[in-house]
Structure 1
């Protein structure tokens, strides 16, 4: 059952009630399923409400007044007025839980690499960083071997993720996370291999199998360089733990 914070994968068709005109949907030739975070305002209210509380595999009929669709301004692009009611048929292809983790036994790594412990209550990782310098280049290790399809560039991945900086946490049993699924409110959905995330993630994830857990140690030039987000120093080496929950 889909709850707020989960990620939904849906296909849908839609029409304008008044005219019967079909709107662009995800069953058209070449269209992909839509992926969105449930209950976080990431899509039209009509689609959000269609999924909330439903099981994967359900088909839901939604009659959406303007307030649940494009509002009183409508959509000039789709020729929808601010008074139009829309009708959606929504197929819920998959629901990924907000705390989901990949299954399987985690491998042990060298003591020269961070130790990773997953927290099942919130889907994030606890990272213990060795008291030594970070590797100079991109280091990618598979912690759990996935058995799903190989990830291809341009696919939308659904990820649990946890990231910390190496130097501030060096020698500590628990690194402070500057980026995580927990802080985001649930798993991340992102198009991979097209520069939508840091280069280190693109390189680490394309070619992996769905269901894998990946440890990536990413030098600054493949991370945030001299322009990091809040909470991260410039030119920091980044450690990321990434669970590949699904690829669409």
Structure 2
């Protein structure tokens, strides 16, 4: 967990996220893409293809802030969710294309690849987010 206890403004959220990602990038199992998305492979998966941005995918996921507060989870709802991959936040569109069916990844998504300055619902502006994503099916 990374403390955001003192992050109360969008600027402080952005600074806390940048500090978290800088520390996280030092871990041996973390991969950072050119866009700044970070990920780790929890389970490689058994599928042979990865989805394209225009594919529909079915996933299970859990989203938390960098201090561990869960804001959404298909696991909690008891069923996976399906959507066109190009209709979600950019960090998901990029990250899920790296996966194969059956894979489970953890994505560390900078605010600019998530909800940015607007935030969304319980997600404060400029929040870096963590998602555990399990790719169940590519349609």
Superposition TM-score, scaled by structure 2 size: 0.72
Which of 20, 28, 32 is the aligned partner of 1:134? 20
* Aligned with 2:82 (options 174, 189, 207): 189
Which stretches in structure 1 are left out of the alignment for 5+ residues?
1-128, 170-174
Q: Tell whether 2:60 aligns with 1:160.
A: yes
Partner of 2:134: 243
Partner SS state of residue 61, structure 2: strand
Post-superposition offset of 1:149: 2.6
Q: 1:130 to 1:233 in 2, by over 3 A?
A: closer
For residues 66-91 of structure 1, what are the alpha-carbon distances to aligned partners after superposition, in whole Å with 9 as ceiling and x for unaligned?
xxxxxxxxxxxxxxxxxxxxxxxxxx
Shift of 1:182: 3.9
- Find the counterpart in structure 2 of residue 180 from structure 1: 73
User: Which secondary structure state, in structure 2, belongs to the residue aligned with residue 162 of structure 1?
Assistant: strand
* Structure 1 Cα separation of the partners of residues 91 and 76 of structure 2: 21
Counterparts of 2:76 and 2:121, CA distance in 1? 13
RMSD: 1.8
The answer as to whether partners of 1:140 and 1:214 remain within 8 angstroms in 2 is yes
Say whether residues 1:150 and 2:49 are aligned partners: yes
- The structure whose RCO (Cα within 8 Å, separation 6+) is larger is 2
Higher-Rg member (1/2): 1
Query: If the length of structure 1 is used for normalisation, what is the TM-score?
Result: 0.42
| Contact kept in structure 2, 1:212 and 1:243, CA below 8 Å | yes
Cα distance in 2, alignment partners of residues 152 and 145 from structure 1: 14
* Secondary structure of residue in 2 paired with 1:208: coil
Across the two proteins, how many residue pairs are aligned to each other? 111
CA 1:135–1:177 in structure 2 vs 1: closer, same or farther (change >3 Å)?
Answer: same
Q: Which has the higher helix share?
A: 2
5+ residue gaps, structure 2 = 4-15, 23-35
Aligned residue number for residue 97 of structure 1: none
Distance in 2 separating the partners of 1:140 and 1:186: 24
